[in-house]
Amino acid sequence: MSLLQVNHLVVEFPHRRGTLRALDDISFEIAPGEILGVVGESGAGKSLTGAAIIGLLEPPGRIASGEIRLEGQRIDNLDHEAMRHIRGRKIGAIFQDPLTSLNPLYTIGRQLMETIRTHLPVGEDEARRRAIGLLQDTGIPGAAQRIDHYPHQFSGGMRQRVVIALALAAEPKLIVADEPTTALDVSIQAQIIQLLKKICKDRGAAVMLITHDMGVIAETCDRVAVMYAGRIAEVGPVQEVIHQPAHPYTSGLMAAIPDMTMDRARLNQIDGAMPRLNAIPRGCAYNPRCPRVFDRCLEERPDLLNAGATRAACWLHAAHSAAPIDGIAA
């Protein structure tokens, strides 16, 4: 059974000239212990999807239709207080900038212990013991001493480890990690990636990893969902999507990654830019930039279709599918 199910999710923003649809019919699922990568250009809707799941959509953004289920329970229609409890207890969040998640006036120990005691029935001594254990598990050296330090006394990489410990404090089933390695140097990125993989293996937690870095996706994830203009363009096992992309947009992303074995004067690029929310073209949203566009792409918007080992929202695969499939990934 899936841990998280997102079914036909639509997120809209009221605007003076009408309603802007930022997420348009998003469907996917994540199994316990699985890492699902969500990748795409800036503006594709990756972070917005994560914010909708953890109940932190910025007003006036709202979920217009669809549903989000965690362990079978619908969570998108809960009130603020009920969602706050689930967000700490069942869903942990890791954000790009650890300083936005940590209070500079409190020691990291106090912040960890408050989170633990809010969601778990333990006393102060047990909370402190668990907090030290979390810091040790996330690779903080001298955890018993450093628990009484303040956020500014940690390096960027160590602060991100503290944020991961904070996300794990109440033993959540799902972790939403939004660009958790972007602000870190390459060597620290690798350590954080290994830490996320270890968490999945040791704790059985599922991770939704939001990033624009295909290298991080390849190294970390079991499956990947490629987003474009508020929709899922392709979803499938990470190695299949990377090595045999079925959607022209995914192919363009992969071709744009520099190949260190080739001597090339010019890097590949995808011409054009992501469309604005108020100017998404008719038919397939990618059609103005697609090198394989044909007439149907200009008129009809494709749903996810079978494309070998993956599923792609592309009419090139219509011959291989009797009918469009629901977007939920197996």
Q: What is the pLDDT of residue 4?
A: 97
Considering the domain boundaries, does residue 298 fall inside one? yes
Percent of the chain topping pLDDT 70: 95
Considering the domain boundaries, does residue 293 fall inside one? yes
Considering the domain boundaries, does residue 310 fall inside one? yes
Q: Is the pLDDT of residue 311 over 60?
A: yes
pLDDT one-digit tens code per residue, 228-281:
999 999 999 999 999 999 999 999 999 887 776 766 667 788 889 999 998 999
Percent of the chain topping pLDDT 90: 68
Considering the domain boundaries, does residue 279 fall inside one? yes
Considering the domain boundaries, does residue 138 fall inside one? no
- Domain extent, residue 275, equals 228-320
Q: What is the pLDDT of residue 321?
A: 46
Residues 325, 310: Cα–Cα separation, whole Å: 12
pLDDT one-digit tens code per residue, 186-230:
888 888 888 888 887 888 899 999 998 888 898 899 999 999 999
Q: Is the pLDDT of residue 307 over 70?
A: yes
Higher-confidence position of 10 and 260: 10
Residues 162, 254: Cα–Cα separation, whole Å: 33
DSSP category for residue 324? -
Q: String of b and e for 82-102 (b: at least 16 CB within 10 Å)?
A: ebeebbbbbbbbbbbebeebb
The number of folded domains in the chain is 1
Q: String of b and e for 173-186 (b: at least 16 CB within 10 Å)?
A: bbbbbbbbbebbee
Q: What is the pLDDT of residue 264?
A: 66
Considering the domain boundaries, does residue 127 fall inside one? no
Show the DSSP H helices in 156-294 as ranges: 156-168, 186-203, 214-220, 238-243, 248-255
Considering the domain boundaries, does residue 286 fall inside one? yes
Write down the pTM of the prediction: 0.90
Q: What does the DSSP assignment read for 109-150? A: HHHHHHHHHHHS---HHHHHHHHHHHHHHTT-TTHHHHTTS-
Nearest 5°: phi and psi at 145? -90, -40
Considering the domain boundaries, does residue 208 fall inside one? no
Average pLDDT on 27-56 reads 94
